[in-house]
Structure 1
Amino acid sequence: MGLLASLLRPMRARSAHDENARMVEMIDRVIAMNPRLRLARHYRQRLGKAVSVSLTYIDNLTGSLPAPNEANASAWSTDPLIRVFFATPDDLVKAFSRSEELRTYFADNSSSTEAYATLGMTMFERHVLGVAVEGSEVRHDVSQTTLCFSDHRVRVCGRSDAELREEIARRLVDQLALEGLARLAADRRNLVAKGRELLAARVALLERRGVGMRSVVGDSPDAGSDELARLDIQIAENTRNLAALRVPTEIVDLQLERVCEVFSTPADHIYVEKRRLRLDLMNVIRNDDSQASREIELHLARIPGDPPRMRAFRLVRFPRDELLPAGLHVDAATRAI
């Protein structure tokens, strides 16, 4: 099975008696990232111990995320958090309707009336001068901080809350495998220059393909089918070049050890921060508990890079009947509603 097929294949149903099958699947995903690791001695047993540590951490992380929020035009008026993310109900509908992954999900699941999905966003603060009421006085040109959200992306979808969380777990295992690959590419002591170049190129290609945490929070750029096809060809060529590279067994064993170190310390590479804020209806950050403000809790995920970044995200449910018609310009379709 090819690299991308093994990374993106549909998820198997999970039960209490299927943990061993789940472990096999996750190890296969790690090997798909760096097929040379299967040349290391006892690679499955060694990877299994480390991956088990990561799965415990990942399951606790995904289990701690709040229940999915309803994401629809009506929810914009009733759910303070959804209102924080979008300026208008139309903006919400347009953002979801732009998602090719969401459209593909509904096309492949004709009986589904809704999709569970991850909504990722860029979050930033804007410092402005506004109006504030202090006692009986109205003050102008008051320094204020407004919380803003942009670049809304919907990339991972599922038929249920449980299925969505399990798919997120898969993508986080991919992220740790990618982190391990990056560590090998940076190892100048035990890998020849050509090997480092190939591994560095592989990391860059997989990141452009949107593997790992980037797929969960929508941090990778949109790519058309032609661009994705080119990336797949380049990844396949990179796989062949790595396979042709002769590396002593002891070096491959050391590479596996480095990857296992990453999976044994998942909290160093994957984490989600919580941030509680009080906002008014204009998304201005408030320090008081006035009736015009409400407290919200935001979740921000670490995106690896130099330097790493944080991106806001939320689990949501979006109804099929609010998806704008395909083949129409989204902005024009929204104006016609």
Structure 2
Amino acid sequence: MLDRIRRGGDSATAPAAQEREGVDAAIERVLALHPQLGLARRSRTRLAPAVATSFAYVRALVDAVPAAREASAAAWDGDPYIHAWFAGPDEVASRISRSAELRAFFADHGDAPEAYAVLGMDMAERHVLGARMEGETMRRDVPQTTVSFNDHQVRMCAGDEAQLRMDIVRRLLDELALAGLARGAADKSRRAALERERALLKVRLQLLERQGKGIRAVIGGDVASDPGELARLEEQVEENARELSGLGLREDALERELEQVRAVFVQPGRHLSVSTRRLALDRMNVVIEPGGAGRDAAPDGRPGMPAGPPAGADLELRIARLPTLPPRVRAFSLVRFARTSLLPEKSVFEEAEQLLSSGLWS
């Protein structure tokens, strides 16, 4: 009984220990990205609570992602997600086999029968006119919305799903660290720009104040005789000096950089976001509107499948917002891909050449 109690206590403290390890590892990666931050006063102690906040936030995002789906030609007909993401059963292997990271994983893990991976895709929506059956009547020129998925990419792979999820958590924490360091770099750039501007303004002010020699001192017309211009320049110099003082002393640069990184980790939701997009799609990736003619009610009154072929399904898509300029959004999912489904590298290159040739001649 005592053994069971001890084991129960160990299992209760395991998540907390795992979180501490994850936070400590994230802090070490931050300092590895910018080693000088370690010289700031109590850098690790000050970062720890903020990084713990981000760790909990990121872990919740990753835990909410559904289990990995089998990505295969066989799954294309039965899994509505795989069917929506790929145009045909043969396209599943051809798209995923282009991943250099996936090939490297199988090469490094010769005994792994499958790989767990993150599949990312661009999702595009188009408004078109199509045809639809309403009872026994075919209606044409019906406004419809179609959804397509392109630019399939696999960048992260692991041997099991738990390891893949932990790798995603680490990558997202690294992304937050990079965002914080970028803010620190912007602070440095702003200081450099202000210092250059101040130097130029002072030189111009000196030139204007000295203008009064030569012919202009005799006949007038020198800029220095315009007190308004001098006043404006002096005001610009003072404003510039105020902005510089607001940035703090140059000696405090490491402290400010550490605060920039800490500020990002305190509010991770401002820099990383994953949303859920719910769509009802038929087999041709046409959006089925709620309560529309393409969807019947099930016997118990709940929404059912579209009446007659093509059948459809309700999908919940995970959408990540990328912190790029301009911001981009990508649909993504965890997938399982078998080693036996991996196409030979030559076949992938031949397919790419055919696509390129068709594009050039079309």
Query: In 1, Cα distance between the equivalents of 2:19 and 2:57?
Result: 15
Q: Secondary structure at the match of 1:284?
A: coil
Could you tell me which residue of structure 2 aligns to residue 280 of structure 1?
282
What CA deviation, in whole Å up to 9, does each residue of 1:108-160 have, x standing for no partner?
Answer: 11111000000000001012221111232111122211001000000000111
TM-score after normalising by structure 2: 0.70
Matched letter for residue 253 of structure 1: E
Query: In 1, Cα distance between the equivalents of 2:144 and 2:190?
Result: 53
Could you tell me which residue of structure 1 aligns to residue 299 of structure 2?
none
Change (3 A) 1:332 1:153: closer
Query: In 2, Cα distance between the equivalents of 1:188 and 1:254?
Result: 10
Counterpart mapping for 1:217-236 below 5 A: none
Matched letter for residue 341 of structure 2: E
Alignment match of 1:293 (pick from 312, 325, 331): 312
Are 2:330 and 1:311 equivalent residues in the alignment? Answer: yes
Matched letter for residue 171 of structure 2: R
Judge conservation of contact 2:101–2:154 (CA < 8 Å) in 1: yes
> How many Å apart are 1:329 and its aligned residue?
3.7
Counterpart mapping for 1:83-102 below 5 A: 83-102=83-102
Could you tell me which residue of structure 1 aligns to residue 54 of structure 2?
54
Counterpart mapping for 1:7-86 below 5 A: 16=15, 17-86=17-86
Judge conservation of contact 2:117–2:157 (CA < 8 Å) in 1: yes
Q: Secondary structure at the match of 1:187?
A: helix
Query: In 2, Cα distance between the equivalents of 1:53 and 1:43?
Result: 16
Judge conservation of contact 1:190–1:251 (CA < 8 Å) in 2: no
Judge conservation of contact 2:22–2:55 (CA < 8 Å) in 1: no
Query: In 2, Cα distance between the equivalents of 1:331 and 1:66?
Result: 34
Could you tell me which residue of structure 2 aligns to residue 113 of structure 1?
113
Query: In 2, Cα distance between the equivalents of 1:297 and 1:21?
Result: 32
> How many Å apart are 1:279 and its aligned residue?
0.6
> How many Å apart are 1:274 and its aligned residue?
0.3
What CA deviation, in whole Å up to 9, does each residue of 1:77-122 have, x standing for no partner?
Answer: 1100110000011111111110000000011111110000000000
4+ long deviations beyond 2 Å:
15-24, 32-36, 185-195, 326-333
Unaligned runs of 5+ in 1: 1-14, 196-246
Are 2:272 and 1:270 equivalent residues in the alignment? Answer: yes
Structure with a larger share of its residues in helix = 2
Are 2:340 and 1:321 equivalent residues in the alignment? Answer: yes
Query: In 2, Cα distance between the equivalents of 1:169 and 1:142?
Result: 44
Unaligned runs of 5+ in 2: 1-13, 196-248, 296-305, 355-362
Are 2:142 and 1:142 equivalent residues in the alignment? Answer: yes
Q: Secondary structure at the match of 1:186?
A: helix
Matched letter for residue 322 of structure 1: S
Change (3 A) 1:162 1:329: closer
TM-score after normalising by structure 1: 0.75
> How many Å apart are 1:255 and its aligned residue?
1.1
Matched residues, number: 270
Judge conservation of contact 2:116–2:160 (CA < 8 Å) in 1: yes
Q: What is the Cα-based RMSD across aligned positions, in Å?
A: 2.3
Judge conservation of contact 1:145–1:284 (CA < 8 Å) in 2: yes
Judge conservation of contact 1:324–1:330 (CA < 8 Å) in 2: no
Matched letter for residue 254 of structure 2: V
Judge conservation of contact 1:97–1:324 (CA < 8 Å) in 2: yes
> How many Å apart are 1:21 and its aligned residue?
3.5
Query: In 2, Cα distance between the equivalents of 1:77 and 1:301?
Result: 26
Matched letter for residue 276 of structure 1: R
Judge conservation of contact 2:97–2:348 (CA < 8 Å) in 1: no
Query: In 2, Cα distance between the equivalents of 1:80 and 1:249?
Result: 59
Could you tell me which residue of structure 2 aligns to residue 211 of structure 1?
none
> How many Å apart are 1:164 and its aligned residue?
0.4
Query: In 2, Cα distance between the equivalents of 1:18 and 1:42?
Result: 23
Counterpart mapping for 1:232-247 below 5 A: none
> How many Å apart are 1:32 and its aligned residue?
2.6
Percent identity, aligned pairs only, is 46
> How many Å apart are 1:330 and its aligned residue?
4.4
Judge conservation of contact 1:58–1:169 (CA < 8 Å) in 2: yes
Q: Secondary structure at the match of 2:121?
A: strand
